Structure 1
């Protein structure tokens, strides 16, 4: 991470506003759309409930006629705003209204991403004083530091065991929905998007003595299988991802389940070079996939929430239909 030291010499007057401000330029690993909810449109409220599965807090939303009408099981993985975000809950409700029992786990164990937007000054204009500019730059650096610290608390080693527990418990609790769909479907937004790639992959079993997530111990080979490479996954039948963050080229390795990707044009959170490398990998390895790039929208646009821009609202609806159509057809 960049050095967080900042200049401390205050200007004597606004006449010094052209002086260089020695505050590091930082780009948070998660943007505001990953950590801050959009306004919830008037008249909308969540209808599911928070309970526990596998001793993990989850939000559950069910079709109105479940279990009398067959449904499928859908895992929904959120961005940094987490389980208690009303917008995330309404997003789950939208899928439930389409015939899915939706399980939305708390990926962060009650520690949602820091929402610092209200605590820091707004962007200043080009005519701002040196002090205003300094405060803004310092606030950006502090916010970036807070997000980096939060991400350090929620690594793959922490999140995957949570998903493992929830998936195991959901298979038991909603066995009818899993059976009806022939497996578990999954959608992921922002932070949760990367974990759809991981759940859709087949990966080598960790060596003995190392961390063995995903019930690897139970997958130990028989004598007849000892000479064969042992793998785990995929854990989902099909997945859909919207504006994922923190994805690397390596996260495409081992992909097996069909994947639909909602991507934002020129998105620094999911760079074009990573996306295109992923498309190349999926094509070369015959992974069924689709990738749609949405221009003129912000990162995070597909998560339920209000926008004044009619084009963004339209794109939000289109992205939902893309993801819904994909899981329906698989």
Structure 2
């Protein structure tokens, strides 16, 4: 495995201030948050695959809007059929029981349907995908431009990614990693480096000091080190897409 299963660090954090500007609609049997760029273009899309807090978590909606303000049409599906984990849930919450209710067999069809919707309804030219924690696995699994799936990928503090899934990617992948992260620790990061090097595909791994798992979504923005890491990880994704999506 190139990253470990999720833990309690996957739902702890701080809610960020701001007013999301996107909208929620329904595709087949799941909801989706969409956010358009200023010119309403859908040529280049960001498929945003969330952590376990889901598509209605304000921090993630604000991030989606940030990608839209950088010129991308953003499509953020509900991976959990209305059953996300709450931010900082009460003591006694059983994460692994919750995870057992959201296996690959229920998540994968949502990702597939989202890609189909982007290709067929919105007529996107290319799809970039962003995966935070839980969502990272599905960015990796669908990073196959030759198969008309995801063209370019970016993941932050990934979880549940299997080594064989990483070995099988077919496109450029960037990773934002936290210095302190039991889910994606040093040995898993180094294992991923070796795998990515062997793919002969473009890759980038940025390691951010002074932060923990979840920093790209749920960090305390009053901490200037964490704020810098979050903002820089976002810019890492945008620059990666500008280079490898719009070439």
TM-score (norm 1): 0.68
1:119 correspondence with 2:90:
yes
1:93 correspondence with 2:69:
no
**Structure 1 consecutive aligned stretches of length 4 or more whose deviation exceeds 4 Å:** none
Alpha carbons of 1:201 and 1:65: their partners in 2 closer, same or farther (altered >3 Å)?
closer
Partners in 2 of 1:28 and 1:327 — Cα distance? 27
Deviation at 1:56, TM superposition (A): 2.2
Report matched runs for 1:208-287 at 5 Å.
233=147, 235-287=149-201
1:172 correspondence with 2:120:
yes
Q: Is the 8 A contact 1:54 1:169 kept in 2?
A: no
Deviation at 1:234, TM superposition (A): 6.5
Point out the structure with max Rg over C-alpha: 1
CA RMSD of aligned residues (A): 2.1
Report matched runs for 1:1-330 at 5 Å.
29-32=6-9, 34-41=10-17, 44-67=18-41, 71-115=43-87, 117=88, 119-120=90-91, 142-143=92-93, 146-175=94-123, 178-179=124-125, 183-201=126-144, 233=147, 235-303=149-217, 306-330=220-244
Point out where structure 1 has 5 or more consecutive residues left out of the alignment. 1-26, 121-141, 203-231
Deviation at 1:165, TM superposition (A): 1.1
**How many equivalent residue pairs?**
241
Partners in 2 of 1:250 and 1:55 — Cα distance? 30
Deviation at 1:287, TM superposition (A): 1.8
Deviation at 1:259, TM superposition (A): 0.1
Deviation at 1:73, TM superposition (A): 1.1
TM-score (norm 2): 0.90
Q: Is the 8 A contact 2:180 2:212 kept in 1?
A: no
Deviation at 1:196, TM superposition (A): 1.0
Q: Which has the higher strand share?
A: 2
Partners in 2 of 1:174 and 1:37 — Cα distance? 34
Partners in 2 of 1:266 and 1:65 — Cα distance? 40
Partners in 1 of 2:6 and 2:16 — Cα distance? 25
Deviation at 1:36, TM superposition (A): 4.1
Higher relative contact order (CA 8 A, sep 6+): 2
Alpha carbons of 1:108 and 1:189: their partners in 2 closer, same or farther (altered >3 Å)?
same
